[in-house]
Amino acid sequence: MNKIVETTIEADPKLPIIRLTRDFAATPAQLLRAHTDPEIFVQWSGPDSLTNTIDYWDARTGGSWRYVARRGDEEYAFRGTFHEVGPERIVQTFTFEGQPEGVALETLWFEDLGDGRTRLHAQSLVDSFEGRDAWLRSGMEVGVNEGYAKLERLATEHKI
């Protein structure tokens, strides 16, 4: 099995879905914790130029979350609900408050590759092809790649 060391970002040609795939030197339990523990999440999520602050965070099936990313005087708020939080999968909604009509349904799952490595799969189903393409044009790959690099460092430094 080939290792995926950079994040693969794919747009589905038939559905308004974005799929992400990346391998980590971490166990599924570590990646689950990184996505559900707010103190860890704020350390890795998003581009290096932003800092995150949690407004509220209830990482359980039926819970909700909101955080704010800041760069100087700029603020970007995100919110959603956890529909399912389990050991191998997270299903949640994701909304950028700057575009509150654009709610995405996100599913993340953790494929155990053995030897302390996990392949993270994530997909975001958005409301339209236009919305999906706007995400892709937004520079999201910078935040995804820089964020996942930080997550990899946290895992290899045994901080999760």
pLDDT given for residue 149 in this prediction: 94
Q: How many angstroms separate the CA atoms of 110 and 115, rounded?
A: 14
pLDDT given for residue 2 in this prediction: 57
Report phi then psi at 48, rounded to 5.
-60, -25
Question: pLDDT truncated to tens, each residue of the chain (160 aa)?
Answer: 556 568 999 999 999 999 999 999 999 999 999 999 999 999 999 999 999 999 999 999 999 999 999 999 999 999 999 999 999 999 999 999 998 888 999 999 999 999 999 999 999 999 999 989 988 998 888 999 999 999 999 999 988 9
pLDDT given for residue 115 in this prediction: 95
Q: List the beta bridge partners of residue 76.
A: 69
Q: CB burial class (10 A; 0-12, 13-18, 19+) of residue 22?
A: buried
Residue 107 near residue 123 (C-beta atoms within 8 A): yes
Q: How many CB atoms lie within 10 A of CB 39?
A: 8
pLDDT given for residue 94 in this prediction: 96
Q: What pTM was computed for the model?
A: 0.92
Q: CB burial class (10 A; 0-12, 13-18, 19+) of residue 91?
A: middle
Secondary structure string (H, E, C) spanning the chain: CCCCCCCEEEECCCCCEEEEEEEECCCHHHHHHHHHCHHHHHHHCCCCCCEEEEEEECCCCCCEEEEEEEECCEEEEEEEEEEEECCCEEEEEEEECCCCCCEEEEEEEEEEEECCEEEEEEEEECCCHHHHHHHHHCCHHHHHHHHHHHHHHHHHCCCC
